[in-house]
A and B are shown apart, each in its own frame.
Chain A
Amino acid sequence: DAGVIQSPRHEVTEMGQEVTLRCKPISGHDYLFWYRQTMMRGLELLIYFNNNVPIDDSGMPEDRFSAKMPNASFSTLKIQPSEPRDSAVYFCASRLGGRGLNEQFFGPGTRLTVL
């Protein structure tokens, strides 16, 4: 398996522009998580999906952020409009559900810079 795939790996944009980050989870995993990593706040959970349905979006910072999962193999995180304080590394992770100690597998991340 190729692991969790994220694109783009790097994104530089100007304030006010729309940004879309993409994630392909590991095939068969039924949970998908979006995280944001910054120096100030560390790793924060933004939202997670179960079987393509958003379950908990309490970590989404504000209405400018939205996430979708139209099918089991694709998810997007959109920021519109973007602001400099959104600059961070955004990680996607997926996990096989169930009662076992199944860990989350992380993608390589997307480094977002908003100028």
Chain B
Amino acid sequence: EPEVTQTPSHQVTQMGQEVILRCVPISNHLYFYWYRQILGQKVEFLVSFYNNEISEKSEIFDDQFSVERPDGSNFTLKIRSTKLEDSAMYFCASSLLAGEYNEQFFGPGTRLTVL
């Protein structure tokens, strides 16, 4: 069964460093998303992406964040200068269509630890 994959599973970085989190969405899906979950808190929407453009971003997704689909398979989230409060699980998701009734499929997540 096709699935969303994410690498690495755990990333440790120093405050102020840049990190890139990678995702491979399900191959025929067209819409891509990043969510984040700080330990013990709710899953929060960061950004949605379609046709090589950001469709929507939350207030969390500030200038330190960027997303890119550098080739036909990868979807990346870059944090330019990490802060302690960026420590969280980051989940990538994808969906075939963008309708209200279409499921988004989640990847296993990347745990980001900022020291």
Partners in one complex: no
